[in-house]
Structure 1
Amino acid sequence: MSYVVFALKWRPQDFNAIVGQEHIVTTLRNALQKNRLAHAYLFAGPRGVGKTSTARILAKAINCAQGPTPDPCGKCPSCTQIAQGNSLDVIEIDGASNRGIDEIRALRESVKFSPARSRFKVYIIDEVHQITPDGFNALLKTLEEPPDFVKFIFATTQPNKVMPTIISRCQRLDFRRISVMEIVGQLEKIIESEKVEVQKEALIAIAKASDGALRDAESILDELVSFTKGRVSLAEVVSVLGLVEQEMLFAVTEKIIAKDARGALEILDRVIGQGKDTGIFLSNLIEHFRNLMVARVSRGDASLIDLPEETSQLILKQAEHFSLEEIFSAFNVLVNTQEMAKRLDSVRIPLEVSLVKLAHDKKGDTLHPHQHARRESHPLPKQGIEPKTPAAGEKGTPLPAEQRQEEKIEPSPETEISLEGVKEAWQGIIESLSRVKISAGTYLNEGMPVKVERNVLTIAFPMNYSLHKESLERKENRQLVEQIVSQVLHTGTRVNFILSKEEIPRQDASSHPFIKSVLDSFGGRVIAED
């Protein structure tokens, strides 16, 4: 007897075997018990989650010798023939290869004939969205008023491409992606029955790689069982699927925490040297920061993190080194990296830039001579608050450094400020804010002062930077920005953040503190200037 792959061998044969679609099963069971079956169903959802299997089980249920029943016997001629795929009254059609008006007209003619042996004639059309508009239009009248002995079951992964007039004539049931732990549970049943030994962490990795598709997970497991001679371990799953080890994700995050940009790049280089896909590494890193976010908000509860207990505990510990705002900022940087990678058709360069951006040293220990001169001409205290300078013609002896640090500087609320003055001091404001709170400085750098009225400074952000605006509008961030702006401008200033549809002029990137730090760290210099 020829070998049967896991995806076929373990295909559900009744409603009890369907995994992760309880809402669908309950709806269909109740419809069968109450004799309230619709004449047409539309099963929508991702691939590999049980749409076609459910359609076959429904066909069994309504044609079973003991039915219609929510629990088909699986032994009568009708159930046996449907399971084997050779029933004359259950017709499965591939929408991709039968998409034209001629094929639909032939289907319309066949609908008129009564079932050969069964109670109902069931048409299962897979990937129904592939049918042409003319084909759909030819089907409309038949679908609206089919013969009493005909049932239609449509399945699609793209319901948005199905004509609204078709959807309105069907009862739509949406299948969801299957959770990681539900997939793991089904895989455990398979390996127990097949007498195969697989490490629990390996099963979780398989489930995560399948992206919610049980069929994909079963196929991957089948491949791994063939690949290995004995026990399937996590290392073999990583090797076969080209995944990135959790240790690498933890390691690069540790480098980000330690502000070790060089170390982060070395880890990335090691990942690439092992032949890993940088796109997968980036996606996994985004998911890692998602887990860090969940760990921060769950306050020690690891139930929302689909990882082994030991790994979840490590996530909880690592999350303690980040604030939520820092996680949001990192997440934003990494997601933007994906978009940039698509435009550049390269993942490595944008990813390297992002890792350096996330792991650069805030303090900027290494300075070039021209940077020393600039800071000496525009001194700023350690906390990023510039001391008030004497007014024109005012004389006095400079205070000692210790006394200057302790002196509380009161802004002058009566002094009017101008938009030009704010723009001239803008880079100093960002630098001062970045030294106090790097995330707030990063957010503010994406904005631009656009209006000053009665000492209220309006700062505009592009429409796609709403996250930056909302973060800065939080009470603690707004107060910090107002404090820094007031101290740098020597006058009491309030701020207002807006989103603008107009193009906002961006500052020279080389003037940003982060870019300066990168240039310093890697010994860069400007070789050309327009």
Structure 2
Amino acid sequence: MAYQALYRVWRPQSFLDVVGQEHVTKTLQNALLQQKISHAYLFSGPRGTGKTSAAKILAKAVNCECAPVSEPCNQCAACLGITNGTIPDVLEFDAASNSRVEEMRDVLDKVKFAPTAVKYKVYIIDEVHMLSISAFNALLKTLEEPPKHVIFILATTEPHKIPLTIISRCQRFDFRRITAQSIVNRMKLIVEETGVDCEERALQMIARAAEGGMRDALSLLDQAISYSQDRVSLEDALTVTGSVSQGFLNKLTNAFQAKDVSSGLEALDELLFHGKDPTRFIEDLILFYRDMLLFKTAPNLEESLERIMLDDDFLRMAESIQTGQIYQLIDLLNKTQQEMRWTNHPRIFLEVAIVKLCQIEVKQTEQNQTSQVSQLISRIEQLENELQQLKASGVTVTQESAPPAQKPAQRTSRKGFQPAIGKINEVLKQATKSDLNLIKGKWGEMLSRLMKSHAALLNEAEPVAASSNAFIVKFKHEIHCQMAMENSRFIETMTAALNELVGKRLSLVGVPEEQWVSIRESFLSTQHADEGENGENKQEEEPHISEAKKLFGAEFVEIID
């Protein structure tokens, strides 16, 4: 007898054999036992997940001589005939090669005739999304008023191409991608039954390369068995799938860590010399770092790892690398992968990427700043503890003991940041709404011109008042206001950016949100007192102006004669 592929020999013959689709098989089994069979089903999902197999099992179960049953017996004449394809009442129709309306009508003309060998006529239409619009219309009429003895099972990988009028008349079941562990368990059963010697790591590699499809996994396993001699090894699986060994990936990532460009390029030349696909290689490298990121952030989710195996080299590398560096590596690899898709010379982009990966600089400045801040905080805490100990021992610490020239010490004292109230009042006296609107209109563009570290200080800040030569920025947090106003480079960069946008150089005055409220209220009360001294009968003469100031604030009311 001619040799048959593994996926044909081991095609599921019962719902129990359908791997990874328990949500579908359980529902169909309950419907069979309760005799609640629908006239039309729609099986959708990726390739190789069991759609057509489940359709044939359902056809056997409804026509089994032992019905109602949850599983076909596979021993009666009906089950054997459907399995062998000798019963004409169960018809498999390929819509990909028979998409015209005439071919669909030839099939539907026979629907009205009663079945001859079994209880139900079952029409399994594979790749139903390939039908033409006219063929769908012809099928729709039959689905609207189907005979009692007919069941339609539609299978597709692209349900979005099927008209909604067809979908609404079917019970829809979505088949999922099968997990790698479920595929490995199924392949273990197959190799044990067939007597093939196979490494478990080779099965894991094949399962991950199958990307959730059982048929693809069995096809790759068939190839690996044919390629190997006596035992299917991991190297055999890597050769068949075109993947790169983890040892090679470990070697290459070590070159990235050591910033060894020559070793990285030599390893790439060796890889391409053995016929590996550059596109497949960069995908393996992305998955490698993706798994490393998941392992560092969620080490208990081992099932989510797609490409790596937890060997000693990988564990040592995962401990030494930082999460921020992994983000940079994945971002660079993703950009390279996109560029490789639209070029005839992917090797060039891959070599450039290898050089960049070896020369990539982790954001050491940010890390150093973070470490310096943490050191300063620990030093401040240490000094405060020493100060408390001195006070407890009776030593009096006076302000005169500090050098008078150290003015910044006042800002870091327990009183917090002290805004320049005099400058703020001067700006408020000359503030106009037009000046404020001008700055607000250019605020977003100004932020985009700043460095990220400078723009971060203004995340929760906004301009609240402006005059012709200065403006006030309100900060939500006092620490951000203090950091901004003590950073001369930040002030210079911000004023220069505004100068380019508004055409004039403005002075910056910062104030925390908590202190801004009290400063503004104090200024308004002073202004009202001055107005009362200068003209007591102003309210009587112009009550509408007084009322407007009460409602909107004096700084927002402009009086035009």
| TM-score normalised by L of structure 1 | 0.70
For residues 307-322 of structure 1, the aligned pairs below 5 Å read 310-311=310-311, 314-322=313-321
Change (3 A) 1:225 1:363: closer
Deviations 1:128-181 (A, max 9, x none): 011001110111110122100000001111111111111111111011111111
Equivalent position of 1:157 in the other structure: 157
Change (3 A) 1:487 1:35: farther
Work out the percentage of aligned pairs sharing the same amino acid. 38
For residues 21-100 of structure 1, the aligned pairs below 5 Å read 21-100=21-100
C-alpha distance in structure 2 between counterparts of 1:182 and 1:97, whole Å: 33
Deviations 1:295-324 (A, max 9, x none): 11214663432567643x644442223343
C-alpha distance in structure 2 between counterparts of 1:147 and 1:425, whole Å: 71
C-alpha distance in structure 2 between counterparts of 1:29 and 1:10, whole Å: 21
Change (3 A) 1:320 1:382: closer
Higher helix content, 1 or 2: 2
Amino acid at match of 1:6: L
C-alpha distance in structure 2 between counterparts of 1:88 and 1:2, whole Å: 25
For residues 158-237 of structure 1, the aligned pairs below 5 Å read 158-237=158-237
Which 10-residue stretch deviates more, 410-419 or 338-347? 410-419
Equivalent position of 1:488 in the other structure: 489
The alignment partner of 2:305 has SS state of coil
Equivalent position of 1:118 in the other structure: 118
C-alpha distance in structure 1 between counterparts of 2:151 and 2:276, whole Å: 48
Provide structure 2 residue ranges, at least 5 long, that are not aligned to the other structure. 371-407, 428-438, 466-476, 496-561
Change (3 A) 1:13 1:363: closer
- Offset at residue 489 of structure 1 (A): 3.0
Deviations 1:400-430 (A, max 9, x none): xxxxxxx9999999899999x989996xx57
The alignment partner of 1:110 has SS state of coil
Amino acid at match of 1:169: R
- Offset at residue 453 of structure 1 (A): 6.9
For residues 450-489 of structure 1, the aligned pairs below 5 Å read 454=463, 486=487, 488-489=489-490
C-alpha distance in structure 1 between counterparts of 2:202 and 2:134, whole Å: 48
Which 10-residue stretch deviates more, 48-57 or 259-268? 259-268
**CA contact 1:485–1:493 (8 Å) conserved in 2:** no
Change (3 A) 1:329 1:363: closer
Amino acid at match of 1:218: L
The alignment partner of 2:302 has SS state of coil
C-alpha distance in structure 1 between counterparts of 2:160 and 2:362, whole Å: 51
Amino acid at match of 1:215: R
**CA contact 1:202–1:234 (8 Å) conserved in 2:** yes
Deviations 1:310-354 (A, max 9, x none): 43x644442223343332332222222222112234432333333
| TM-score normalised by L of structure 2 | 0.66
C-alpha distance in structure 2 between counterparts of 1:485 and 1:95, whole Å: 73
Equivalent position of 2:341 in the other structure: 342
C-alpha distance in structure 1 between counterparts of 2:157 and 2:331, whole Å: 29
**CA contact 2:291–2:308 (8 Å) conserved in 1:** no
Change (3 A) 1:382 1:152: closer
Equivalent position of 1:240 in the other structure: 240
- Offset at residue 381 of structure 1 (A): 13
Equivalent position of 2:132 in the other structure: 132
C-alpha distance in structure 2 between counterparts of 1:263 and 1:243, whole Å: 20
Instruction: Give the greater-gyration-radius structure (CA).
Output: 2
- Offset at residue 360 of structure 1 (A): 1.3
Provide structure 1 residue ranges, at least 5 long, that are not aligned to the other structure. 365-379, 386-406, 434-440, 457-474, 495-530
- Offset at residue 195 of structure 1 (A): 0.6
- Offset at residue 252 of structure 1 (A): 2.1
Equivalent position of 1:266 in the other structure: 266
- Offset at residue 262 of structure 1 (A): 4.0
Equivalent position of 1:471 in the other structure: none
C-alpha distance in structure 2 between counterparts of 1:54 and 1:327, whole Å: 42
For residues 316-331 of structure 1, the aligned pairs below 5 Å read 316-331=315-330
Equivalent position of 2:4 in the other structure: 4
Change (3 A) 1:52 1:412: same
**CA contact 1:300–1:316 (8 Å) conserved in 2:** no
C-alpha distance in structure 2 between counterparts of 1:218 and 1:488, whole Å: 64
For residues 394-413 of structure 1, the aligned pairs below 5 Å read none
C-alpha distance in structure 1 between counterparts of 2:182 and 2:45, whole Å: 17
**CA contact 1:44–1:157 (8 Å) conserved in 2:** yes
Q: CA RMSD in A?
A: 3.9
**CA contact 1:486–1:492 (8 Å) conserved in 2:** no
The alignment partner of 1:86 has SS state of coil
Amino acid at match of 1:337: T
C-alpha distance in structure 1 between counterparts of 2:165 and 2:360, whole Å: 59
**CA contact 1:412–1:491 (8 Å) conserved in 2:** no
C-alpha distance in structure 2 between counterparts of 1:150 and 1:383, whole Å: 73
For residues 440-459 of structure 1, the aligned pairs below 5 Å read 454=463
**CA contact 2:484–2:490 (8 Å) conserved in 1:** no
Equivalent position of 1:362 in the other structure: 361
**CA contact 2:288–2:307 (8 Å) conserved in 1:** no
C-alpha distance in structure 2 between counterparts of 1:253 and 1:485, whole Å: 42
Change (3 A) 1:130 1:382: closer
The alignment partner of 2:304 has SS state of coil
Equivalent position of 2:17 in the other structure: 17
Task: Give the number of equivalent residue pairs.
Answer: 419
The alignment partner of 1:117 has SS state of coil
Change (3 A) 1:247 1:109: same
- Offset at residue 3 of structure 1 (A): 1.8
Which 10-residue stretch deviates more, 339-348 or 301-310? 301-310
C-alpha distance in structure 2 between counterparts of 1:143 and 1:194, whole Å: 44
Change (3 A) 1:425 1:304: closer
**CA contact 2:121–2:149 (8 Å) conserved in 1:** yes
- Offset at residue 245 of structure 1 (A): 1.0
**CA contact 1:92–1:126 (8 Å) conserved in 2:** yes
Equivalent position of 1:289 in the other structure: 289
Deviations 1:221-254 (A, max 9, x none): 1122222220111112222332211112222222
**CA contact 1:302–1:316 (8 Å) conserved in 2:** no
- Offset at residue 87 of structure 1 (A): 1.3
C-alpha distance in structure 2 between counterparts of 1:382 and 1:3, whole Å: 62
Equivalent position of 1:251 in the other structure: 251
Deviations 1:422-471 (A, max 9, x none): 89996xx57xx7xxxxxxx9xx9xx9x9xx97499xxxxxxxxxxxxxxx
Which 10-residue stretch deviates more, 337-346 or 67-76? 337-346
The answer on 1:147 being equivalent to 2:153 is: no
- Offset at residue 19 of structure 1 (A): 0.8
Which 10-residue stretch deviates more, 250-259 or 128-137? 250-259
Which 10-residue stretch deviates more, 91-100 or 267-276? 267-276
Amino acid at match of 1:212: G
Change (3 A) 1:180 1:382: closer
Change (3 A) 1:222 1:485: farther
C-alpha distance in structure 1 between counterparts of 2:269 and 2:57, whole Å: 50
The alignment partner of 1:35 has SS state of coil
Deviations 1:61-99 (A, max 9, x none): 000001132121111111001111121110000001211
Which 10-residue stretch deviates more, 147-156 or 273-282? 273-282
C-alpha distance in structure 2 between counterparts of 1:278 and 1:485, whole Å: 51
- Larger RCO, structures 1/2 (Cα 8 Å, 6+ apart): 1
